[in-house]
Amino acid sequence: MSIENTSVNKSFGGWHKRYSHHSKVLNCQMQFAIYLPPQASNGEKVPVLYWLSGLTCTDENFMQKSGIQLLASELGIAIVAPDTSPRGKDVADADSYDLGQGAGFYLNATQEPWNKHYHMYDYVVEELPALIESTFPVTDKRSISGHSMGGHGALVVALRNAAAYQSVSAFSPICHPSITPWGKKAFAAYLGRDKALWRDYDASILLSDATDFVPALVDQGLADEFLKEQLKTEHLQSIAKLKDFPIQINYREGYDHSYYFISSFIESHLRFHAKYLKK
């Protein structure tokens, strides 16, 4: 697969790069960002943390706002951030921010017109890691993290593919999308009205059925305006307790849904992943 480098910036001794490539899975041109720590320039293969962003975001939001490059440089971990959906003039879209381009929900759509392009689950789980591991000096050790819609995606991916990931973490994840306005709107459009099909993309339901786990960390701000209606952290927490799932959930007083919250605790998340990626 050919890829095109569209920008390069040196950062903390490593390199932040953006690439464009044609995705067979999504049937369109896609972009992603990768931070390669200095160890990757010295003949060493490094493990990878995949980051999934939230509604309306691109690959740039996290890379520019989180400040993760400093610690990634120290720990020797590559960071990969894909876009949040397929994009382009021929890609289906909607007038609202929570459906269509910028709102892929990290699932495989089955309904028209979405099913032509919206297969973000397969892109994140299969196509993108294969591209990263065949192109860059990285190992096959992976962890995954994300925020909001991306936190939902990270939890779903890790719960469905426990053997492929060393750890998972999330900031303000949509924990039970089958019962929230964001989730119900997206699932009905992308997957149809049969709620049995929604189960494969609902972290709370997947956790209740899971037999294999990976270590997990969740941070949730108590001043988050979406906590009560959209995120439903309490559902994930109650199921995790019943299942004895190895998850740490931190409620952070005064913190909201923004990147101020993410940048405040991104160090603890990367150090958490490093424990498992660097074994």
Active-site residue list: 148, 224, 257
- Coil vs helix vs strand at 171: strand
Sign for the pseudo-dihedral over CA of 223, 189, 143, 25: negative
Which CB contacts under 8 angstroms, 24+ apart, belong to 136-139? Answer: 136/34, 136/36, 136/40, 136/78, 137/36, 137/40, 137/43, 137/44, 137/45, 137/46, 138/40, 138/45, 138/46, 138/47, 138/48, 138/78, 139/45, 139/46, 139/47, 139/48
CA 76 – CA 39 distance, rounded (Å): 6
Tally of CB atoms within 10 A around 50: 26
Amino acid present at 72: A
CB atoms closer than 10 angstroms to residue 244 = 8
Alpha-helical runs (H) found in 104-258:
120-122, 128-135, 149-160, 181-191, 203-209, 233-243
Q: Which residues contact 154 (CB under 8 A, 6 or more apart)?
A: 50, 52, 144, 145, 146, 168, 169, 170, 173
